[in-house]
Chain A
Amino acid sequence: AQSVSQHNHHVILSEAASLELGCNYSYGGTVNLFWYVQYPGQHLQLLLKYFSGDPLVKGIKGFEAEFIKSKFSFNLRKPSVQWSDTAEYFCAVTRYGGSQGNLIFGKGTKLSVKP
Protein backbone atom coordinates (compact mmCIF):
# COMPACT_ATOMS: atom_id res chain seq x y z
CA ALA A 1 0.00 0.00 0.00
CA GLN A 2 1.09 3.55 -0.60
CA SER A 3 2.37 5.50 2.38
CA VAL A 4 3.95 8.88 3.01
CA SER A 5 6.48 9.65 5.72
CA GLN A 6 7.29 13.09 7.02
CA HIS A 7 10.38 12.98 9.14
CA ASN A 8 9.85 15.95 11.38
CA HIS A 9 6.86 16.26 13.66
CA HIS A 10 7.60 19.79 14.85
CA VAL A 11 10.18 22.24 13.55
CA ILE A 12 10.97 25.51 15.30
CA LEU A 13 12.89 28.19 13.42
CA SER A 14 13.70 31.83 13.78
CA GLU A 15 12.66 34.27 11.09
CA ALA A 16 15.01 34.37 8.09
CA ALA A 17 16.23 30.83 8.74
CA SER A 18 16.14 28.35 5.89
CA LEU A 19 13.62 25.53 5.90
CA GLU A 20 13.72 22.01 4.59
CA LEU A 21 10.94 19.54 5.40
CA GLY A 22 11.48 15.94 4.44
CA CYS A 23 8.93 13.74 2.69
CA ASN A 24 9.36 10.19 1.46
CA TYR A 25 6.74 8.02 -0.15
CA SER A 26 6.49 4.34 -0.84
CA TYR A 27 4.94 3.28 -4.09
CA GLY A 28 6.51 1.47 -7.00
CA GLY A 29 4.61 3.20 -9.77
CA THR A 30 4.30 6.75 -11.01
CA VAL A 31 2.87 9.23 -8.56
CA ASN A 32 1.70 12.81 -8.38
CA LEU A 33 3.14 14.70 -5.43
CA PHE A 34 1.74 17.59 -3.44
CA TRP A 35 2.53 19.83 -0.53
CA TYR A 36 -0.44 21.35 1.29
CA VAL A 37 -0.36 23.93 4.06
CA GLN A 38 -2.87 24.37 6.86
CA TYR A 39 -2.72 27.68 8.71
CA PRO A 40 -4.16 27.66 12.23
CA GLY A 41 -7.92 27.20 12.09
CA GLN A 42 -8.03 27.13 8.32
CA HIS A 43 -8.49 24.60 5.55
CA LEU A 44 -5.82 22.93 3.48
CA GLN A 45 -4.31 25.00 0.69
CA LEU A 46 -2.08 23.79 -2.09
CA LEU A 47 1.51 25.05 -1.92
CA LEU A 48 2.85 23.21 -4.94
CA LYS A 49 2.46 20.06 -6.98
CA TYR A 50 4.53 17.80 -9.19
CA PHE A 51 3.08 15.68 -11.97
CA SER A 52 5.92 15.43 -14.48
CA GLY A 53 8.74 17.41 -16.07
CA ASP A 54 11.26 19.54 -14.20
CA PRO A 55 11.77 17.87 -10.81
CA LEU A 56 12.33 21.25 -9.16
CA VAL A 57 8.91 22.75 -8.60
CA LYS A 58 8.19 26.28 -7.50
CA GLY A 59 5.06 27.07 -5.55
CA ILE A 60 3.39 29.97 -3.85
CA LYS A 61 4.92 32.16 -1.13
CA GLY A 62 8.50 31.36 -2.11
CA PHE A 63 8.30 27.61 -1.47
CA GLU A 64 9.87 25.04 -3.73
CA ALA A 65 10.24 21.28 -3.70
CA GLU A 66 12.51 18.82 -5.41
CA PHE A 67 11.40 15.43 -6.61
CA ILE A 68 14.20 12.85 -6.42
CA LYS A 69 12.82 9.69 -7.97
CA SER A 70 15.70 7.46 -6.89
CA LYS A 71 15.15 8.43 -3.27
CA PHE A 72 11.34 8.46 -3.42
CA SER A 73 11.55 11.92 -1.90
CA PHE A 74 9.82 15.25 -2.36
CA ASN A 75 11.35 17.66 0.13
CA LEU A 76 9.95 21.12 0.68
CA ARG A 77 12.29 24.11 0.95
CA LYS A 78 12.18 27.80 1.58
CA PRO A 79 15.35 29.92 1.78
CA SER A 80 14.06 32.38 4.38
CA VAL A 81 10.99 31.76 6.52
CA GLN A 82 8.69 34.40 7.93
CA TRP A 83 6.54 34.41 11.03
CA SER A 84 3.50 34.09 8.76
CA ASP A 85 4.75 30.68 7.60
CA THR A 86 3.77 29.24 10.97
CA ALA A 87 1.43 26.42 9.98
CA GLU A 88 1.20 22.69 9.51
CA TYR A 89 2.59 21.25 6.28
CA PHE A 90 1.39 18.05 4.68
CA CYS A 91 3.02 16.04 1.96
CA ALA A 92 0.63 13.92 -0.12
CA VAL A 93 0.61 11.60 -3.11
CA THR A 94 -1.88 10.27 -5.58
CA ARG A 95 -1.37 7.47 -8.03
CA TYR A 96 -0.71 8.79 -11.53
CA GLY A 97 -3.59 7.99 -13.85
CA GLY A 98 -5.95 5.16 -12.98
CA SER A 99 -9.32 5.72 -11.41
CA GLN A 100 -8.37 6.50 -7.83
CA GLY A 101 -7.49 10.06 -7.11
CA ASN A 102 -7.60 10.08 -3.34
CA LEU A 103 -4.70 11.75 -1.56
CA ILE A 104 -2.50 9.77 0.79
CA PHE A 105 -1.17 12.19 3.38
CA GLY A 106 1.83 12.17 5.63
CA LYS A 107 1.30 12.87 9.34
CA GLY A 108 2.21 16.51 8.87
CA THR A 109 4.96 18.76 10.16
CA LYS A 110 4.15 21.67 12.44
CA LEU A 111 6.34 24.66 11.71
CA SER A 112 6.67 27.36 14.33
CA VAL A 113 8.55 30.49 13.30
CA LYS A 114 9.77 32.75 16.09
CA PRO A 115 9.74 36.47 15.30
Chain B
Amino acid sequence: DSGVTQTPKHLITATGQRVTLRCSPRSGDLSVYWYQQSLDQGLQFLIHYYNGEERAKGNILERFSAQQFPDLHSELNLSSLELGDSALYFCASNPELAGNNEQFFGPGTRLTVL
Protein backbone atom coordinates (compact mmCIF):
# COMPACT_ATOMS: atom_id res chain seq x y z
CA ASP B 1 0.00 0.00 0.00
CA SER B 2 1.57 3.24 -1.18
CA GLY B 3 -0.57 5.55 0.94
CA VAL B 4 -2.11 7.16 -2.15
CA THR B 5 -5.81 6.51 -2.60
CA GLN B 6 -7.94 6.89 -5.69
CA THR B 7 -11.66 6.66 -6.16
CA PRO B 8 -13.54 5.19 -7.82
CA LYS B 9 -11.72 2.03 -8.76
CA HIS B 10 -13.80 1.47 -11.87
CA LEU B 11 -15.97 3.81 -13.87
CA ILE B 12 -18.15 2.91 -16.82
CA THR B 13 -19.83 5.70 -18.70
CA ALA B 14 -21.08 6.70 -22.12
CA THR B 15 -19.61 8.93 -24.80
CA GLY B 16 -20.27 12.60 -24.27
CA GLN B 17 -20.49 12.30 -20.50
CA ARG B 18 -18.35 13.95 -17.82
CA VAL B 19 -16.63 12.20 -14.93
CA THR B 20 -14.50 13.20 -11.96
CA LEU B 21 -11.65 11.10 -10.64
CA ARG B 22 -10.38 11.71 -7.15
CA CYS B 23 -6.92 11.29 -5.64
CA SER B 24 -5.72 11.66 -2.06
CA PRO B 25 -1.93 11.90 -1.79
CA ARG B 26 0.20 10.45 0.98
CA SER B 27 0.04 12.41 4.19
CA GLY B 28 2.31 15.44 3.89
CA ASP B 29 2.95 15.15 0.15
CA LEU B 30 2.42 18.43 -1.64
CA SER B 31 2.87 17.27 -5.22
CA VAL B 32 0.21 15.35 -7.14
CA TYR B 33 0.81 14.04 -10.65
CA TRP B 34 -1.80 12.55 -12.98
CA TYR B 35 -0.90 9.93 -15.58
CA GLN B 36 -2.90 8.10 -18.21
CA GLN B 37 -2.08 4.51 -19.15
CA SER B 38 -3.53 3.21 -22.38
CA LEU B 39 -2.61 0.31 -24.65
CA ASP B 40 -1.59 2.46 -27.58
CA GLN B 41 0.05 5.42 -25.80
CA GLY B 42 1.55 3.71 -22.77
CA LEU B 43 2.01 5.75 -19.59
CA GLN B 44 1.74 9.46 -20.25
CA PHE B 45 2.01 12.40 -17.92
CA LEU B 46 -1.06 14.61 -17.87
CA ILE B 47 -0.66 17.33 -15.24
CA HIS B 48 1.19 18.25 -12.04
CA TYR B 49 -0.07 20.23 -9.08
CA TYR B 50 2.01 21.43 -6.18
CA ASN B 51 0.40 22.82 -3.05
CA GLY B 52 -2.72 23.87 -4.90
CA GLU B 53 -1.06 25.37 -7.96
CA GLU B 54 -0.71 23.92 -11.43
CA ARG B 55 2.99 23.45 -12.17
CA ALA B 56 3.24 21.55 -15.42
CA LYS B 57 1.10 20.17 -18.19
CA GLY B 58 1.85 17.20 -20.35
CA ASN B 59 -0.28 15.55 -23.00
CA ILE B 60 -3.55 16.66 -21.47
CA LEU B 61 -6.52 17.30 -23.73
CA GLU B 62 -8.46 20.56 -23.46
CA ARG B 63 -11.50 18.49 -22.46
CA PHE B 64 -9.61 17.45 -19.33
CA SER B 65 -8.92 19.62 -16.33
CA ALA B 66 -7.70 19.16 -12.81
CA GLN B 67 -7.44 20.97 -9.52
CA GLN B 68 -5.85 20.48 -6.14
CA PHE B 69 -7.76 21.55 -3.07
CA PRO B 70 -6.52 23.10 0.19
CA ASP B 71 -6.53 19.67 1.86
CA LEU B 72 -4.20 18.59 -1.00
CA HIS B 73 -6.51 16.05 -2.57
CA SER B 74 -6.84 16.39 -6.32
CA GLU B 75 -9.57 15.81 -8.86
CA LEU B 76 -9.24 15.11 -12.56
CA ASN B 77 -12.27 16.12 -14.59
CA LEU B 78 -12.84 14.49 -17.96
CA SER B 79 -15.61 15.88 -20.14
CA SER B 80 -17.19 15.18 -23.55
CA LEU B 81 -15.82 11.69 -23.20
CA GLU B 82 -14.81 9.71 -26.27
CA LEU B 83 -14.15 6.00 -26.73
CA GLY B 84 -10.45 6.73 -26.89
CA ASP B 85 -10.45 8.13 -23.36
CA SER B 86 -10.88 4.61 -22.00
CA ALA B 87 -7.75 4.03 -19.98
CA LEU B 88 -6.28 3.56 -16.53
CA TYR B 89 -5.73 6.88 -14.78
CA PHE B 90 -3.11 6.98 -12.06
CA CYS B 91 -2.21 9.68 -9.65
CA ALA B 92 1.10 9.82 -7.84
CA SER B 93 2.42 11.97 -5.04
CA ASN B 94 5.71 13.01 -3.54
CA PRO B 95 6.72 15.57 -0.98
CA GLU B 96 8.59 17.91 -3.28
CA LEU B 97 8.19 20.17 -6.26
CA ALA B 98 10.95 18.70 -8.40
CA GLY B 99 11.83 15.22 -9.51
CA ASN B 100 14.55 14.37 -7.03
CA ASN B 101 12.37 11.93 -5.24
CA GLU B 102 10.36 8.80 -5.70
CA GLN B 103 6.73 9.14 -6.75
CA PHE B 104 4.21 6.95 -4.98
CA PHE B 105 1.39 5.70 -7.15
CA GLY B 106 -2.22 5.09 -6.31
CA PRO B 107 -4.13 1.99 -7.44
CA GLY B 108 -5.64 3.80 -10.41
CA THR B 109 -9.12 4.37 -11.77
CA ARG B 110 -10.10 2.26 -14.76
CA LEU B 111 -12.34 4.31 -17.03
CA THR B 112 -14.40 2.57 -19.68
CA VAL B 113 -16.26 4.74 -22.16
CA LEU B 114 -18.97 2.88 -24.10
Residue of A nearest to B98 (CB): A101
Interface size on B, residues (CB 8 A): 28
- Contacts A42-B107, A43-B106, A44-B105 given: A97-B98 contact, CB under 8 Å? yes
* Given contact pairs A43-B106, A108-B42, A108-B43, A101 touches B101 in the complex (Cβ within 8 A): yes
Min CB gap B89→A, angstroms: 11
Q: In the complex, what residues of A have CB within 8 A of residue B2's CB?
A: 43, 45
In the bound complex, what is the Cα–Cα distance between A90 and B33 (angstroms)?
Answer: 17
Q: Mark B100-111, 1 if CB is under 8 A from A, else 0.
A: 111111111000
Question: Is B55 interfacial (CB-CB < 8 Å)?
Answer: yes
Residue of A46, A99, A101 with most chain B CB atoms under a 10 A cut-off: A101
CB distance from A93 to the nearest CB of B (A): 8
Q: Are B43 and A101 in contact (CB under 8 A)?
A: no
Total interface residues in chain A, CB < 8 Å:
26
Residue A70, interface by CB 8 Å: no
> Which one of B33, B96, B98 lies within 8 Å of A103 (CB-CB)?
B33
| Contact bitstring A24-66, B, C-beta under 8 A = 1, else 0 | 0000000010101000001111100101000000000000000
Chain B's nearest CB lies how many Å from the CB of A4?
Answer: 10
Q: A97-B98, A101-B48, A102-B33 are in contact. Are A45 and B55 (CB under 8 A)?
A: no
Flag whether B74 is at the interface (Cβ < 8 A).
no
Known A105-B42, A105-B43; judge A44-B100 contact (CB<8 A): no
Give 12 A-B pairs besides A97-B100, A102-B56, A104-B45 with Cβ atoms closer than 8 angstroms.
Answer: A34-B102, A36-B105, A42-B107, A43-B105, A43-B108, A46-B102, A90-B43, A94-B99, A100-B55, A101-B94, A101-B96, A103-B45
Can you report 9 A-B residue pairs in the complex whose CB atoms are below 8 A from each other? A34-B102, A94-B99, A96-B99, A101-B94, A102-B33, A102-B48, A102-B99, A103-B99, A103-B103
